Amino acid sequence: MTASQGPWRHPEFARGAREMRDVALGIGAWGLVAGIAMAKAGLGAALAIAMSLCVFAGSAQLAALPLIVQGAPLWVVWATAFCVNLRFVIFSAGWRPYFEALSRPRRLLVTYFTVDFTYIAFMRRFPQPGAMSDQLAYVAGNATVSWCAWQGMTIVGVALADVIPSRWGLGFAGSLALLGITASLLIDRGTWIAAAVAACAAFAAFALPFHLNIVVAIAAAMAVGVLVDHFAPPRPKGEPSGDAA
């Protein structure tokens, strides 16, 4: 942390950045769409960009935006964003053992910059806690790429809101990035079953407000995943069956 050379000199910084590079295209596409949406919602360019730079949470921003524009009570705006962000609360339990040794402000600084993809890439790179300098450099590299892709393209989206036709379907590039990442996580029977359960639960609970169906899907998938791990012995290696999402 306090070494004379910055984390960007550390080899893990380059690795973290590299492993975010392809995802950055999807994040950038989302950022563009979010920027367009924010500009079109009538927030004004300056506030839209300020929101993106400070809040740095695309789905929460897009959920809170119409409420702000409609003049909903502040607590409703914040409660909505909190619910949409609940998955990060769950992820933060996963982060804890890795960054325990840091001071509280530094712990919060690290997690503030970690989006879903950073969590996934990091846990793949460090299945067990490793050297703190390696972990920090990896997160820094990874988050720098995602932050720049998101913020840069959001600002472009705000600027170009009236020029880009919506039928280009740019938002779908973000969904395709999600699709690939989801597929890459389907590595064994437990993950296939968990994904199928998550899809069913998310659909069944779709009518819940505040995107709470995401939390229902996470809880259902975690519960079933653990049950499968413990009570159903894995089959001999072969094609994983079952279809998901």
Partner 1 sequence: MTTWQTIVAIAGLTVVSIVTRGFFMIPERRVPIPPWLREALRYAPLAALVAVLLPEVAMTGSHLIATWKDARLYATATGILVFVTTRKLLGTILAGSAVLLALRSGLGW
Binding to partner 1 (CB under 8 A) within 99-138 occurs at: 99-100, 104, 107-108, 110-112, 114, 116, 119-120, 123
Q: Which two tokens stand for residue 16?
A: 């973290």
Phi-psi region of 150 (alpha: psi -120 to 50; beta: other; left: phi over 0): alpha
Among positions 167-206, residues that touch partner 1 (CB under 8 A) are 167-173, 175-186, 190-191, 194-195, 197-199, 201-203, 206
Closest-CA residue to 122 (of 203, 11, 20, 243): 20
Q: In terms of CB distance, is 140 or 214 closer to partner 1? A: 214
218 makes contact with partner 1 (CB under 8 A): yes
Phi-psi region of 191 (alpha: psi -120 to 50; beta: other; left: phi over 0): alpha
Binding test (CB under 8 A) with partner 1, winner from 12, 13, 16, 29: 29
CB 52 within 8 A of CB 151: yes
CB of 180 to partner 1, least distance (A): 4
Of 6-14, 96-104, 129-137, 154-162, which part binds partner 1 (CB under 8 A)?
Answer: 96-104
CB of 4 to partner 1, least distance (A): 27
Alpha carbons 152 and 35: distance in angstroms, whole number: 10
Of 6-14, 31-39, 135-143, 161-169, which part binds partner 1 (CB under 8 A)?
Answer: 161-169
60 makes contact with partner 1 (CB under 8 A): yes
40 makes contact with partner 1 (CB under 8 A): no
Binding test (CB under 8 A) with partner 1, winner from 17, 31, 91, 136: 91
Could you tell me the CA-to-CA distances from 83 to 60, 87, 97, 98, 218 in Å, in that order? 8, 8, 24, 25, 13
149 makes contact with partner 1 (CB under 8 A): no
1 makes contact with partner 1 (CB under 8 A): no
Closest-CA residue to 69 (of 47, 54, 88): 47
CB 77 within 8 A of CB 64: yes
